[in-house]
Amino acid sequence: MLEQEVKLAFVNVEAARQAVITAGGRLVVSRRLLDDTLFDTPDGEMRRSGRALRVRRDGAHGALTCKGPVLRGRIKTREEIETRVDDADAAAHILARLGYVPAFRSQKYREEYALGDARVAVDEAPVGVFVEIEGTPEDIARVALQLGRTERDYRTESYSALWRRACEARGVEPGDMLFDPVDRAH
């Protein structure tokens, strides 16, 4: 399967949510915490090659995802193979037995909307608030315009890349992208 998406930065979650609802977005999955762990080889081959191997914890559910390198273009396009798993911890243990190691952990609160044929998510992450639009390039462009944005506003970086850049700008070592336990209630 080919994943095609962009992120649009917003000043806060209320502004992002209001933009999506005003554009006609219909809530299909309520806000919940996603906890992702990226796995890599001990020498970092996955990251160097632009690929990703992820275990996602989504409440009682989990998913195992493999992503290929990003193809050039204004929209982030890459192969994505994903399967739901009943036990995310077991999936992580299997990857460890195969020689992969946890390389980066991230958290975000996400709520998902249907807007035409596009999937739209409002993401609150320690690195900022983003609306992620997934669909065909035409669907992405249409939804972005409905949100008052243009191609100049597209962000195609991964959350891990955004986090590394934010940490470097503050002069701190980029570790995992996690919410402060005090902030997790909001």
Residue-by-residue DSSP string for 65-76: EEE-PPBSSSSE
Q: Is the CB of residue 34 less than 8 Å from the CB of residue 107?
A: yes
Note whether residue 112 is domain-resident: yes
The identity of residue 19, as a single letter, is: A
- pLDDT bracket for residue 59 (50, 70, 90): confident
Note whether residue 184 is domain-resident: no
Note whether residue 141 is domain-resident: yes
Note whether residue 129 is domain-resident: yes
Q: Phi first, then psi: what are they for 103, rounded to 5°?
A: -115, -30
- What's residue 20's pLDDT? 98
Which residues span the domain enclosing 164? 2-178
Please give the Cα distance from 31 to 113 (Å, whole number).
10
* pLDDT tens readout for residues 35-46: 999 999 999 999
Note whether residue 113 is domain-resident: yes
Q: Look up the CATH number of the domain holding residue 73.
A: 2.40.320.10
Please report, for residues 26, 28, 69, 111, 183, the alpha-carbon distance to residue 84 in angstroms, rounded to integers and kept in the order given: 24, 18, 21, 18, 28
The identity of residue 157, as a single letter, is: E
Note whether residue 38 is domain-resident: yes
Note whether residue 185 is domain-resident: no
In total, how many domains does the chain have?
Answer: 1
Rounded mean pLDDT of the chain?
95
* pLDDT tens readout for residues 156-177: 999 999 999 999 999 999 999 9
Query: Could you give the count of Cα atoms lying within 13 Å of 97 in the half-sphere of its Cβ?
Result: 6
Note whether residue 70 is domain-resident: yes
